[in-house]
Structure 1
Amino acid sequence: MRTERWPLERVRAQPRRAVRDVDALARSIAEVGLLQPLVVAEDGTLLAGYHRYLALRELGWQEAPVVVLDLDALRRELATLEENLVRHELTELERAEHLRRQKEIYELLYPWTRDGVRQNLALTKVESGDEDPADTMTAGYKGNEEEDLSPIDSTPPFARHVERVAGVDERTVRRLVRIAERLTPETKGIVRGTKVEDNQKALLYLAKLPPEVQPRAARLMVEGVPPRLAAARAEREMRESAPIPAGADPLLPPEIVYIHGDFREGMANLVDGAAALVLTDPPYAEDAVGLYGDVARHAARVLAEGGSLLAYAGQSHLREVMEELGRHLRYWWTLALLHRHGGQTIFGKDVWIRWKPVLWYVRSGRGTAEIVPDLVEGSSPEKGAHPWAQGAEEVRPLIRALTLPGDLVLDPMAGSGAFLWAAFLEGRRAVGWEVDPERYEQGRAWLMEQYARWQEGREEEGYAAVD
């Protein structure tokens, strides 16, 4: 492998049907330069950097730095790695690192096997009628028994190739590669030489965690804490140590921060992954649909991996609301909240509504395993603040199921503060925003009243214990 400067006309790039963001990449290169060279074979075939190549052509560059790879040397290294995978006793982490390196080499030798590239090349070939230039790179590939097919058709994706030559099923290959790619060097160093290094389940738990949380969880696993508990504990400790917005009210419990202001500004100031749950009840009018998208956009950043967003919604614009939420988070389920007051009639639709959707979206996947019923019994609304307020009791089981004690719960449109109070009663911390000054003052007054009653109840319990 060597680095040189080549004329761009010497680079042989196979056209693709689908390209993305070339203009943006060209602007970035014009501002900060080319940070990563193109990767080419000795004969000039472009192995990696197709979008960078297009951007350089768009900018009018005549030459560019390239990394020139010796394909024969790569094939020899690939063969050695494949032999080691079959013959040597490796830990799960060592297998993961072997497979990651194998994948890197394999997809340099056979770039059309990368995700999404095979179809683009095949479609381009059909449309242009050109001979397949990938033929120049297939010499030495031993896994092709279908000689009448083109390399694009016959060369399998990496995971399938490993299954054929090493007998490791595709799903396991993908899992192990993901482990090697996502674990930080510090995390790998912590688990090396311990039982965790050979525990695929534990390594997968670590790989799903944010990089800043992995070392903490790895140390807990090395100490003997079960993988799932170690991951949950490490995430909880990270969230508890994360700063929350200023604005503590001396008349409210320190676990509740209720802020008069726009949630978009407030959530922008939270650190990444600070919250376990976003729970909110936005307005249901058509002109408020965009608020759901704003909530989801911020939630996608401030939620921890596996965190959830629960958003109450009306029926009239449900499709548009779900589209807004789905742009930023992964849909998980729709819960049905039964109306305690018996429902209402929607005139014009001629429908008597007995339930309300509670839309459940997650960041990546779900981080807790407790069973959640999708039928939620509505509780008496807290009407002291405003006419659309919801009850606190109805969401307490959801908070228990989707968070751990000490976790941070956010309500971007807190209104009466009922959801903040529910989080407090479940031993969680809560932050909420309300932009309307009148509703904010009403909600703050209601929270103060609940807190005063709660304190009185604690005192009475203390007196009873003394008696």
Structure 2
Amino acid sequence: MSNIKEVAVNKIKVKEHFRPINLDKVDDLVKSVLAVGLINPIVINSDFELIAGNHRLQAYREIGFNQIECRVLDLLELEEQLLQCDENLIRLDLNVIERSEHLSHRDELLISLGRRAKVGDNQYKGSLGSQTTKSLAKDLGISRSKYYQIKSICKIDADVRELLKKTDVADNLDALMLIQKQEVLIQSAIAKRLTNGCNLRELIKDLKKEAEKERQLKELDTYKINFDNDNIKLFCDDFRNNKIEDNSVKLIWCDPPYTEDINLYGDLAKFGQSVLAEGGSLFCYIAQARLKEVIDLMCDHLTYYWIIAVKNEYSSGRDGKGIFISWKPILWWVKGNRKNFGRYKNIF
């Protein structure tokens, strides 16, 4: 158990296990304490020995305060919890999630007891019997990297972990590591839609697409009014749910998702053929690798007019053919005959 109480500064004992005092850090803490008070109490045991907060304690001494707020830990209870945790880790029926939770809790207990050697921690670093990650991993019969991997599973949201414990993924370290790299909303969606035997990577890919689509729709919903120009209207919808009057649009500009069904471009051309006025234009981005397929699909409904090149600031080879892409194509299509109103550059 732990409790918070005021303790006399001169009553607190500081052993020699702490790092040397950083005076700049103490100065910053003095300013912070004078401005907003002590945000985090220091930690002591029942014998008034400091466990954590040496710089905070020094700041109080610099200011001249006689009392400081402390969290007092019951080391006997911590010892009992540590023993119980060690016994549980020996069990063979823990899944990876449960093992991760035990390792994280064990680390917290060791830190509170001053037995955890960890770079940067202000705990009994270097004291006799302090344990490193390497020694902890060795005790469990695993490598240090495996120890880090298992412990990292606790980065998964706590509620999500509880859901995942009911699935086959609970004992699949590789799958859990993939899940913990996702943001919490995606983690939660995975846990709710995960089924035995499903392709986790494909599920994550689909969920990210859905999340991005939802984000875009929410962003579009922020536009409460259309443009001041009465000739421009904003439609927040999938173009395949056509609610636009036929022959009423002069120009369509779009950037379809390249990785989805290529037939989407055929649907787009059919949509343009329906809503564009005579001589109207449709501009659409396309990946170089799919140019021929897209042109074949779209020319059944619209007339090919030109191809425009948009320069990329950075070259990439993402099409997988070893080509460093320095420009991105935009196809220009028209409905019927287009009147020429001027001269235009075809590179931007």
Q: TM-score range by the shorter chain?
A: 0.5 to 0.7
1:366-413 Cα offsets, whole Å, 9 max, x none, are: xxxxxxxxxxxxxxx96xxxxxxx735984643x57xxxxxxxxxxxx
Q: Does structure 1 residue 16 correspond to structure 2 residue 19? A: yes
> For 1:225, which of 179, 182, 198 is the aligned residue?
198
Partner of residue 156, structure 1: 131
Q: Does 1:242 align with 2:120?
A: no
Inter-partner Cα distance in structure 2 for 1:169 and 1:119: 24
Tell me the residue number matched to 2:68.
Answer: 64
Give 1:55 shift: 4.2
> 3-state DSSP class of the match of 2:194?
helix
How far is 1:177 from its partner? 1.7
Residue among 186, 195, 198 paired with 1:213 = 186
- Is the 2:124–2:130 Cα contact (8 Å) retained in structure 1? no
Name the CA distance, whole Å, in 2 between partners of 1:45 and 1:57: 16
1:174 and 2:148 equivalent? yes
> Offset of 1:238 from its aligned partner?
2.6
Distance 1:47 1:457, change over 3 A: farther
What are the equivalent positions in structure 2 for 1:81-120 lying under 5 Å apart?
81-110=85-114, 113-117=117-121
TM-aligned CA distance change 1:396 to 1:116, over 3 Å: closer
The residue matched to 1:34 in structure 2 has which SS? coil
Indicate whether 1:6 and 2:7 are aligned: yes
TM-score with structure 1 length normalisation? 0.45
Q: Does 1:455 align with 2:333?
A: yes
> Over residues 225-283 of structure 1, what are the superposed CA-to-partner deviations in whole Å (9 max), with x where a residue is unaligned?
33333333333333332245879987563549xxxxxxxxxxxxxxxxxxxxxxxxxxx
Residues 116 and 131, structure 2, Cα contact 8 Å, conserved in 1: no
* CA displacement 1:292-328 (0-9 Å, x = unmatched): xxxxxxxxxxxxxxxxxxxxxxxxxxxxxxxxxxxxx
Q: Cα–Cα, structure 1 residues 102 and 112, in superposed 2: closer, same or farther, change >3 Å? A: closer
Task: Tell me, in whole angstroms, the C-alpha distance in 2 between the residues paired with 1:458 and 1:109.
Answer: 80
Does the CA-based 8 Å contact 1:5-1:64 persist in structure 2? Answer: yes
**Structure 2 residues not aligned, in runs of 5+:** 234-250, 257-307, 338-348
Per-residue deviation, 1:197? 1.6
Question: Which of 82, 85, 108 is the equivalent residue of 1:78?
Answer: 82
- Residue 50 of structure 2 corresponds to 46
Contact 1:37 1:66 in 2 (8 A): yes
Question: Hey, what does 2:311 align to over in structure 1?
Answer: 391
CA distance 1:11–1:233, shift in 2 (3 Å): farther
Alignment of 1:41-440 (within 5 A): 41-110=45-114, 113-117=117-121, 134=127, 151=128, 155-157=130-132, 159-180=133-154, 182-222=155-195, 224-243=197-216, 253-255=253-255, 391-392=311-312, 395=315, 397-398=317-318, 422=328
Structure 1's 156 and 241: CA in aligned 2 closer, same or farther, altered over 3 A? same
Give the counterpart letter for 1:67 in structure 2. R
Shift of 1:96: 0.7
Structure 2 contact 190–204 (Cα < 8 Å) conserved = yes
Q: 1:27 to 1:234 in 2, by over 3 A?
A: farther
Q: Which has the higher helix share?
A: 1
Provide closer, same or farther for how the CA distance between residues 35 and 396 of structure 1 changes in structure 2, counting only shifts above 3 A.
Answer: same
SS in structure 2 of the partner of residue 242 of structure 1:
helix
Instruction: State the distance in 2 between where 1:32 and 1:96 align.
Output: 36
Contact 1:40–1:46 (Cα < 8 Å) also in 2:
yes
How many Å separate the matches in 1 of 2:55 and 2:211?
A: 37
Does the Cα contact within 8 Å between 1:111 and 1:117 map onto a contact in 2? no
- Where does residue 247 of structure 2 map in the other structure? none
- Distance 1:42-1:161 versus aligned 2 partners, 3 A rule: farther
Q: Cα offset for 1:21?
A: 4.9
User: Secondary structure at 1:79's aligned position in 2?
Assistant: helix
Distance in 2 between residues matched to 1:458 and 1:29, nearest whole Å: 74
Q: Deviations over 1:315-359 (max 9, x none)?
A: xxxxxxxxxxxxxxxxxxxxxxxxxxxxxxxxxxxxxxxxxxxxx
Contact 1:38 1:66 in 2 (8 A): yes
Normalising by the residue count of structure 2, what TM-score does the alignment of the two structures yield?
0.59
> Which blocks of at least 5 consecutive residues in structure 1 are unaligned?
123-133, 135-150, 257-380, 383-389, 402-417, 426-449, 460-467
| Bigger Rg, structure 1 or 2 | 2
